[in-house]
Structure 1
Amino acid sequence: MKNKIIHTKKDLLLGRGRDEIAGGFEKIQQLCVSRRNFMQGAGVLLGGAVLSGLIGGTAEALADEAVETGKFVFPRLQFTVTDNTPDRWDVHPKGDIILRRKLRELTNINVSMEPKVVRLEDFDDMVRNPFVFMTSEGNFKLPENEEKNVREFLERGGFIMADDCVYNGKEDRFFKAYVSLINKLFPDNPMRKIPYDHEIFHIYYDFANGCPHMQGVPNGAYGLFEPGTGRIMTWCSPGDIHCGWVNAWWSPEKNMEAMKMGVNIIIYFLSH
């Protein structure tokens, strides 16, 4: 019971919906899901229908009993970086810490505050963490085994949130490299700009003009859309919202917009 939290009917009386009450999926780590049965096991814990299954029953039923949930884990993805730039895959971990704290403050999501690194080269490590955050400021070219892991991870229901750390405050090297990678792996379904009316921009906070832009090239956020369902499988933003989480270089209001966008992305993942 060490890592469990009990949510009571007070949550519902405060108007918190099931998607907000449901914690994340640290339980996936406990399942020790193998490469072969990732979707069979992880699929039980991912998606909107899964949230209601995880916490059980309807809103009316929830009001009558306590709800036990796991924790949402926000890991950083370690990957091969070939460009000789100072800010690589592990840049500014403080931003991750602050976002976790804000996620806990601004929502009722039960989030783990523990830092975690997931290695792209180790697929068994990845499948225990269906949501990963990836960033850098430079170009990168993955070795074949890491490319294969990206494709398989996304096809099995994993979600990669990618954000460009922006080289020299004005370029989009990482953004271009990531979009190029995904388009190579999914040649018949390339990434495309996410329209401003998409629910990821309105699921919790409203962003009428799409993803907040801190610095760099204003390409807009891109997504890989799952054929048939339209679900966003991976997100890539060019404007350094991660550095907004660090809360050091722009106004508090602008930094808060970056944090709120991070919250939206996580809630979108948890509910799809």
Structure 2
Amino acid sequence: MKKLTIYLALTLLFFCFQMSSQELAILKYQGGGDWYANPTALPNLIKFCNNNIDTTINSKPETVEVGSSSIFQYPYLHMTGHGNVVFSDEELDNLRNYLLSGGFLHIDDNYGMKPYITREIKRLFPDTPLEELGAEHQIFKNIYSFPKGLPKIHEHDGQRPQAFAISINNRIVLLFTSESDLGDGWEDPTVHNDPVEVREKALQMGANIITYAFKN
């Protein structure tokens, strides 16, 4: 009964903030992975969105911890890194409640994160498998068109880019992008020296993801 009361209170808190909020936050997690990677990525993506798709997102994203009730203040959470990820049972409960209440989590593998985060996603939603999104999904065409699906930004292992999702009631609540590294494409040009057209593709795909998160 106590858990239900807390869940309902957090759900109400989330919807109160969601109705008036277009904000992003970086998700801080335990396990040793570098959750703080790509420090210029989200600020650049926010600037691109505010300039091109009429969002009014705060230019400096906040950082929130997985187990904190603060996550319910943000309709969009971003998570990245290269290494290990570990969620406690309490953190899993909090994150699950957030996602089932209308929240959205984008996990962008910065290279090396996949085996750890997919393990934790199975714990988060044990009865709902990650499914790859086809190129026809609306997230690839709601603002900018990506006829082939998720763009390839960095080579890494040379494998094709893939977007996986957990969907609840036909709404993506968790998006995991792999072998693309969108975040590197969002960073300042001098960080990776990516060509302008590559950075543009990364930012446009990021804008599509944010549009989906805010409107669904």
TM-score (norm 2): 0.86
Q: Where do 1:252-271 residues align within 5 Å? A: 252-271=196-215
* CA distances 1:145-204 after superposition (whole Å, capped 9, x unpaired): 2222222221222111110111xxxxxx31232222222222221111011100000110
Number of residue-to-residue matches in the alignment: 204
Deviation at 1:71, TM superposition (A): 4.7
Q: Where do 1:120-139 residues align within 5 Å? A: 120-122=66-68, 124-139=69-84
Given that 2:67 and 2:90 are in contact with CA atoms closer than 8 Å, whether structure 1 keeps it comes out as yes
- CA–CA distance in structure 1, aligned partners of residues 138 and 42 of structure 2: 23
Question: Gaps spanning 5+ residues in structure 1: where?
Answer: 1-33, 47-53, 55-69, 167-172
Does structure 1 residue 225 correspond to structure 2 residue 197?
A: no
Deviation at 1:205, TM superposition (A): 0.5
**2:183 — aligned with what?**
242
Given that 2:29 and 2:66 are in contact with CA atoms closer than 8 Å, whether structure 1 keeps it comes out as yes
**1:198 — aligned with what?**
137
Residue type of the partner of 1:233? V
- CA–CA distance in structure 1, aligned partners of residues 195 and 100 of structure 2: 38
Q: Where do 1:72-221 residues align within 5 Å? A: 72-82=22-32, 88-122=34-68, 124-166=69-111, 173-215=112-154, 216=156, 217-221=159-163
Deviation at 1:143, TM superposition (A): 2.3
Q: Secondary structure at the match of 1:234?
A: strand
Given that 1:160 and 1:233 are in contact with CA atoms closer than 8 Å, whether structure 2 keeps it comes out as yes
Q: Deviating runs (4+, > 6 A) in structure 1?
A: none
Deviation at 1:233, TM superposition (A): 0.6
**Structure 1 vs Structure 2: percent identity of aligned residues?**
23
Provide the aligned C-alpha RMSD in A.
1.9
TM-score (norm 1): 0.69
Q: Secondary structure at the match of 2:40?
A: helix
**1:63 — aligned with what?**
none
Residue type of the partner of 1:269? A
In our comparison, the structure showing a higher alpha carbon Rg is 1
Deviation at 1:41, TM superposition (A): 4.4
- CA–CA distance in structure 2, aligned partners of residues 271 and 45 of structure 1: 14
Given that 1:99 and 1:259 are in contact with CA atoms closer than 8 Å, whether structure 2 keeps it comes out as yes
Given that 2:165 and 2:174 are in contact with CA atoms closer than 8 Å, whether structure 1 keeps it comes out as yes
Deviation at 1:45, TM superposition (A): 6.3
Q: Where do 1:41-60 residues align within 5 Å? A: 41-43=13-15
* CA distances 1:25-56 after superposition (whole Å, capped 9, x unpaired): xxxxxxxxx7532323434665xxxxxxx6xx
- CA–CA distance in structure 2, aligned partners of residues 222 and 235 of structure 1: 6
Moved more, 190-199 or 105-114: 105-114
Change in CA separation of 1:150 and 1:41 when aligned onto 2, cut-off 3 Å: closer
**2:3 — aligned with what?**
none
Deviation at 1:110, TM superposition (A): 1.3
Given that 2:65 and 2:71 are in contact with CA atoms closer than 8 Å, whether structure 1 keeps it comes out as yes
Q: Secondary structure at the match of 2:61?
A: coil
* CA distances 1:48-105 after superposition (whole Å, capped 9, x unpaired): xxxxxx6xxxxxxxxxxxxxxx45212111110335xxxx101121111111110111
Looking at both structures, which has the greater relative contact order when contacts are Cα pairs under 8 Å and sequence separation is at least 6?
2
Given that 2:163 and 2:177 are in contact with CA atoms closer than 8 Å, whether structure 1 keeps it comes out as yes
Residue type of the partner of 1:128? Q
